[in-house]
Structures are given as C-alpha cells and as structure tokens.
Amino acid sequence: MALKNQTSGAPDAPRKTTPAQRRRTQAERSSETRLRVCQATLQALSETGYERISTLEIAKRANISRGALTHQFPTRNELIVAAFQYLIQSWENAWPFDDQQGHPNMETDELIDVLWEKLFSPDKYMAALELMLAARLDDDLGQDLRNAMSRWTTKRDNIIAEMLGATQDNERTRTLIQINLCLLRGLAVHKSFDSKPDAAKLIIDQWKEIMREISKSGNFLKRG
C-alpha cells in the first residue's frame, strides 16, 4: 500500500532574524573608557579630595582594572588634566555657554542665578577647586591646568559680557565680571561647610541687590 504523504498543517513560518549588533571599534571602546575614568575622577575629587584619591580608587569607581586605567593615562597628572578638560568641555557644551543655541540677553539677577546653578553650585565644581588648590604646589600640574583653563575663561567672560549687553573693552566691566565670579566661587566653598541649607540663597539674594544698584549706576557696565 502506498503511503500517503503526511503534512503537519500550515508550513512553518520563516524564522525572524535580527541584525547582528555592530561591534564597537577599538577607538570607541577607548573613548568610552576615558569618559568613565574622567567622570570617576571628578567624583572622587569632589567626595574624597585631591590628596586622598588614588588611581586604584578611580579604577574601582570607573569599574575597570587599574591596568586599563594606566593604559589610557600612564601618569597621574595626565589623568587629572584629562578630567579637568572633560569638566571644562561640559561647561562649554551646556547652555548658556554653548554656541549652538545662542547667548540670551540677561539682567544681573538672572545671570547670577544661571552662573550659580550651571557652574558653581554643582558638586563637580568642588573637584575643580581641589585641582586649583593642588596646582599651587605642583608646577607641572599647575601649568597644564592653567593651559586648559585659559581658553575657557576667555570664552566664559566674553559670553557673560555679551549676555549683559556690555563690552569687555572697559576695564571696570572686566573687573565687575571678575568680582561676580569670585563671590560665587567663594560661596561654593562656603556652602560646603555651612550647615544652614538656605545660607547660599541668602547671600545670593543680597548680592543681587548690590549688583542691581551697580548696574543702574552705569559706572561699571559699559553697554555695547
């Protein structure tokens, strides 16, 4: 007896194939590792301080081996400078300092709030202060940090003047910008050990009043 061909119903649906995930290049993996190390370094500087951080601690925070860290950054100074450059780049790429969105006009009150919230209040700024203090006693590190900082400070101050509608070719305008930055810088330090949660806000509110009066006088802000 001839056997009938047996079928199991409808034919099997074709298997779905997923596209193979693209493998990251060595350059991409290296870039990601450097980013994680820079972020871990800033975190360690802010929480532990410059004198107490070690490459082993930073490697643990970045979740990589110490060998992988030293492959990317053979010396401690190279690591520190790279983290500092990463921090500066994060400032440059954020509003209102990035060049993509333009620089808005601001009154002094708004400018003070923006500078405090974007630059001086975040914990990352304590990492910058740790490095500025460390640079006093290390000539090589100090020179590298100053080189990294120079372009940023020029750009920052020009943009601040632009947002105020002022011009930096006036010495008094330049001085007022630096006074404002110095007060906020000092307030960042003060905030780190003042137990009163609203201490910074009270000082900022008083500073705004002073800046409003200075702005009204026209003696320091030469409008463009």
Which residue type sits at 209?
E
CA dist 140 and 110 (Å) reads 38
C-beta separation of 87 from 131 below 8 A: no
Per-residue confidence at 129, pLDDT binned at 50, 70, 90? very high
Please compute the mean of the pLDDT values over residues 6-18 and round it to a whole number: 53
For residue 141, pLDDT over 80 is answered with yes
Per-residue confidence at 5, pLDDT binned at 50, 70, 90? very low
* The pair of three-digit structure tokens given for residue 188, joined into one six-digit string: 């960042």
> Domain map of the chain by residue range?
81-217
CA dist 222 and 180 (Å) reads 16
pTM of the shown model: 0.81
Instruction: Tally Cβ neighbours within 10 Å of residue 54.
Output: 12
Choose among 183, 170, 177, 160: nearest CA to 214: 177
Each residue's pLDDT tens digit, 166-193: 877 888 889 999 999 999 999 999 988 8
CA dist 66 and 86 (Å) reads 20
Q: Which residue has the higher pLDDT, 20 or 161?
A: 161
| Peptide bond connecting 96 to the previous residue in cis, omega within 30 degrees of 0 | yes
